[in-house]
Chain A
Amino acid sequence: MSLVELENVSKMYRLGAVEVWAVRDIDLHIEEGSFVAFVGPSGSGKTTLLNLIGGLDKPTTGRIRVGGFDVSTFDRTQAARFRGEQIGFVFQNFNLVPVLTAAENVEYPLIMVQTRPEPERQKRVADLMEAVGMADRKDQFPDQLSGGQQQRVAVARALVSRPKLVLADEPTANLDHDTAYSIINLMKKMRADFNTAFIFSTHDPRIIGEAEIVITLEDGRLVSREESGRRVHA
């Protein structure tokens, strides 16, 4: 069963009098538990596509279904609820809340988004901090953690609400190769542990090979889809 279905999706931005098509005519299906990389040069539409799938943006044309929900029809509140329940986000700059400790950052979606009872929150946070190898640094604030450690916390935060899909926009762009590699491996492990699909964007050729499905974008168009070595031209 497809977790993500895009049908003829296009997104146009208007810059003054100029129309810029960030993505054009995308048809895409991603199954549950997939580990997918969006690749392509800067401006190819990777981030726009992630934003559209994540309900952060609306397509100009076409339809997007995620987990059975028609994301393209949501209003603000519905989109927020959908993201809180169905999607986890990992950002290039980690984007941890600086006034919260690592554990509190992970706990945040369970308090402010899903409102889970405290015992359940504590157990989930402890389990995830352990799983991402950050249990011994749970009380440290983001500015006391390295980039790799912050991204581990961000991965735990993305998973704590048990989403079906985690979207990661250039999660390794600000990390050195070894750390980037360990983050990708962590994401893969989490995928295996929680059966959560991961879609990440990257233009780092060294980690593209870690993805099971590689979707290549150029000038907003999907130009190829490679599944475990099998290349399918769009």
Chain B
Amino acid sequence: MRNSMKIALRNLLRYRRRTFFTLGLIAVGMIFVLVFVSVTAWFKDMMVRNITDSYLGHIQIHAKGYVDSIDMLPLQLNLPPEQVVMIEQALKENTAIEAYTERIKFGGAFSNFEQTTNIRINGVDPEAEIQTEPLLLPRLINGERGAISLSRGKILVPELLAQGLGVKVGDTVVVVATNRDGSVNGKTFVIGGILSSATGPGGRDGYMHIDDARDLLRMTDSEVSEIAIRIKNLSDLQRISGALQSKLIATEGLKDIEIHTWEKLSPFATVVQMIDVMTFFLKLMLVSVVLIGIMNVMIMAVYERIREIGTIAAMGTPPRRILYLFLYEGLMLGTLGALLGTAVGVALILALNSFKITFSFGQQTGLVLTPTIAFSQVALICLLVVGVSLVATLQPAWKASQMEPIDALRHV
């Protein structure tokens, strides 16, 4: 094998320009894929974190039918107290869950006594909400840091609404809401903080204490609209969600609940899917580049060395060895290209990190580009390139191994 590799390497160096051109082609393809994967992985991770850690959580539990009519924030589809207790029990026993928060979600009118506008509000327990949504407080532009900004009688107001109505921290405002039986109730609140917007439909909601929400809506029971859950390991989302669903649905009295992962609740999941599709097609392009590049080189290599193949075949070299000679050549070309592409690609990713490039995305400004790529991803892409190199070499190598020496020796 060592000698076959040596011959393969020397043959590659024999046509230096062609070899380096092909290596360059593979490397450039690799670099594109690595940089794209790293940037999109960072973007996806950043966006998913922004959405799930700001307001959505990783998993949500609702009464059956709630999500279908979520735009109306239907109070009649809240989870009743006895179900909430059973769900709480199950969540506390589940070691994969880091935290959970119970919310009452409702729509109402928000007034500064001069102007009135619509607002969507989450009534939450401040401590539980902060543990489940660790990026909620960092979104505070103004106001007291910590759970105190959401203490009773206070309200967190989304930035755009605060700007529109010209309200600031400490101002007194009125929130008017229609409760389940259709009667209207109003309550004054002090603005405890202004929240910057987060991407997605829940990113412009206001927050108040859950007991204030119940008072406003004249709820006597401790019912909730949703329970948002934060799990310890997001990469294990599907398994944890599935296990939780199986456990809860199997519990008597919890048949009519629904469990959704964030992917089912946020339109950004579609963007993630689009990014994944784009990544897939970029990888497909890389495969095509490697396949065509190496196949072209190897077909040429076989064609140019027909007499040489005839000579070694005449000397008694078994067809299998001739096959390996060319396979090693293609494999080496792919491996060297993959290594070169990885070296330059990783260097480029590190350089992008060191440049600290900032940009804006929607309402979010000052985002720092910090592309990252997992070792497993790099290894996978390298393996893909090496594997495709092997496939691309198979046909020319097979052709070489099957040549009749007498015909090959006659080749001019």
Contact = CB atoms under 8 A, between A and B. Distances in A.
A84 B317 contact: yes
Interface string B112-147: 000000000000000000000000000000000000
A108 B10 CA distance: 14
Nearest to A83: B316
B11 A109 contact: no
A99 B4 CA distance: 12
Nearest to A99: B10
A99 B316 contact: no
Contact of B318 (A56, A80, A108): A80
Interface string A80-114: 11111101010101010111100000001101110
A99 B11 contact: yes
Contacts of A220: none
B311 interface: yes
A109 B394 CA distance: 24
B308 A95 contact: yes
A113 B317 contact: yes
Interface in B357-412: 405-406, 409
Interface string B308-321: 10011111111101
A212 interface: no
A95 B311 contact: yes
A51 interface: yes
Interface residues of B, number: 22
A82 B312 contact: no
A82 B406 contact: no
A98 B317 contact: no
Nearest to B2: A111
A160 B202 CA distance: 81
Contact of A82 (B7, B10, B316, B319): B316
Interface string B293-324: 00000000000000110011111111101000
Contact of B319 (A56, A80, A83, A109): A80
A76 interface: yes
A85 B409 contact: no
A97 B317 contact: no
A97 B316 contact: no
B235 interface: no
Contacts of A98: 14, 308
B3 interface: yes
* B4, B316, B317, B318 — most chain A CB neighbours (10 Å): B316
B14 A99 contact: yes
Contacts of A59: none
A111 B3 contact: yes
Given A54-B314, A80-B313, A84-B316, A95 B406 contact: no
Given A83-B314, A83-B316, 11 more contacts: A77-B319, A80-B317, A84-B316, A85-B316, A89-B315, A95-B311, A97-B312, A108-B312, A109-B315, A111-B3, A112-B321
10 contacts: A56-B409, A81-B318, A89-B314, A95-B311, A95-B409, A98-B308, A99-B14, A108-B312, A112-B4, A161-B316
| 8 A-B pairs closest in CB distance | A84-B316, A99-B10, A83-B316, A95-B311, A113-B316, A56-B406, A111-B3, A112-B317
